[in-house]
Structure 1
Amino acid sequence: MKILHTGDWHLGRQFYGQSLEADQDAVLDQVLGAVRTHSPDVLVIAGDIFDRASPPATAVRQFNNFIRTVHADCDTSIVLIAGNHDSGDRIASYASLADPKRLLIRGPLSPEERPLILEDEHGPVAFSGLPFGNEFSARECYGDSSISCPADVVAAQVACARTYVPGNARWVIAAHVFVANATPSESERSLQVGGIETVPPGVFDGAHYVALGHLHRQQSAGGEHIRYSGSPLAFGFDEAGSAKSLTMVDLAHDGSVTLQQLPINPPRAVRVLKGELEELLDKGGREPSEDFIKLVLTDKKLLIDPMGRIREHYPNALALTYERDESAEPILLRGSSQAKLDDPIAVVGEFLSQVRGEDGTDDEMALVGSALRQLNNVEERA
Structure 2
Amino acid sequence: MKLLHIADLHIGKRVNEFNMIEDQKYILEQILRITDGEKPDGVLIAGDVYDKSQPSAEAVELLDEFLTQLTAFGQPVFMISGNHDSPERLSFGSRIMQKNGLHIAGVFDGVLQKVTLEDEHGIVNIYLLPFLKPAMVKPFFEQSIESYDEAVRAVISAAEINTQERNILLAHQFVMDGAQQPERSESESLSVGGLDNVDVSAFEAFDYVALGHLHRPQGIGRDTVRYAGSPLKYSFSEARHQKSATLLELGVKGELSIHQLPLIPLHDLREIKGPIAELLRIGREETKSAEDYIHATLTDEEEIYDAIGQLRQVYPNLMVLDFENSRTGQAVFSQIAASCDVSRKSPMDLFAAFYQIQNNNELTPEQVRVMERIFEQAGGAGA
TM-score (norm 2): 0.81
**What is the CA–CA distance in structure 1 between the aligned matches of 2:303 and 2:133, rounded to whole Å?**
47
Query: Which of structures 1 and 2 has the bigger CA Rg?
Result: 1
**What is the CA–CA distance in structure 2 between the aligned matches of 1:269 and 1:43, rounded to whole Å?**
25
Matches within 5 A, 1:269-284: 269-284=268-283
**What is the CA–CA distance in structure 1 between the aligned matches of 2:254 and 2:268, rounded to whole Å?**
36
Q: Match for residue 380 of structure 2?
A: none
**What is the CA–CA distance in structure 2 between the aligned matches of 1:33 and 1:101, rounded to whole Å?**
20
Match of 2:170, as an amino acid? A
Q: Match for residue 6 of structure 2?
A: 6
Q: Match for residue 246 of structure 1?
A: 245
For the Cα contact (< 8 Å) 2:294–2:317, is it kept in 1? Answer: yes
Match of 1:152, as an amino acid? E
Is 1:178 paired with 2:174?
yes
**What is the CA–CA distance in structure 2 between the aligned matches of 1:182 and 1:160, rounded to whole Å?**
28
Q: CA, structure 1 residues 149+304, in 2 after alignment: closer, same or farther (shift >3 Å)?
A: farther
Match of 2:134, as an amino acid? E
Q: Match for residue 305 of structure 2?
A: 304
Matches within 5 A, 1:261-340: 261-288=260-287, 289-324=290-325, 325=328, 327=330
CA deviation after TM superposition for structure 1 residue 101, in Å: 8.8
**What is the CA–CA distance in structure 2 between the aligned matches of 1:136 and 1:194, rounded to whole Å?**
18
Match of 1:36, as an amino acid? D
* Greater CA drift, 26-35 or 86-95: 86-95
Is 1:97 paired with 2:96?
yes
Q: Match for residue 23 of structure 2?
A: 23
Match of 1:283, as an amino acid? I
Q: Match for residue 368 of structure 1?
A: none
Percent of aligned positions that are identical? 35
**What is the CA–CA distance in structure 2 between the aligned matches of 1:188 and 1:299, rounded to whole Å?**
33
For the Cα contact (< 8 Å) 2:126–2:168, is it kept in 1? Answer: yes
Q: Match for residue 158 of structure 2?
A: 160
Matches within 5 A, 1:106-185: 106-144=105-143, 146-161=144-159, 163=160, 165-166=161-162, 168-180=164-176, 181-185=181-185
**What is the CA–CA distance in structure 1 between the aligned matches of 2:111 and 2:209, rounded to whole Å?**
19
Q: Render the CA deviation track for 1:37-63: whole Å, top value 9, x for unaligned.
A: 001011000000000111011111111
Find the residue that maps to 2:89 and give its secondary structure.
helix
Q: CA, structure 1 residues 167+287, in 2 after alignment: closer, same or farther (shift >3 Å)?
A: closer
CA deviation after TM superposition for structure 1 residue 90, in Å: 1.2
* Matched residues, number: 332
Q: Match for residue 363 of structure 1?
A: none
CA deviation after TM superposition for structure 1 residue 356, in Å: 6.1
**What is the CA–CA distance in structure 2 between the aligned matches of 1:304 and 1:158, rounded to whole Å?**
61
Q: Match for residue 65 of structure 2?
A: 65
Match of 2:304, as an amino acid? L
CA deviation after TM superposition for structure 1 residue 285, in Å: 2.0
**What is the CA–CA distance in structure 2 between the aligned matches of 1:78 and 1:71, rounded to whole Å?**
7
**What is the CA–CA distance in structure 2 between the aligned matches of 1:87 and 1:294, rounded to whole Å?**
32
Match of 2:7, as an amino acid? G
For the Cα contact (< 8 Å) 1:208–1:255, is it kept in 2? Answer: yes
Match of 1:177, as an amino acid? Q
CA deviation after TM superposition for structure 1 residue 256, in Å: 2.8
Q: CA, structure 1 residues 157+100, in 2 after alignment: closer, same or farther (shift >3 Å)?
A: farther
**What is the CA–CA distance in structure 2 between the aligned matches of 1:176 and 1:242, rounded to whole Å?**
20
Find the residue that maps to 1:232 and give its secondary structure.
coil
For the Cα contact (< 8 Å) 2:26–2:265, is it kept in 1? Answer: yes
- Could you tell me which runs of 5 or more consecutive residues in structure 1 were left unpaired when the two chains were aligned: 331-350, 358-382
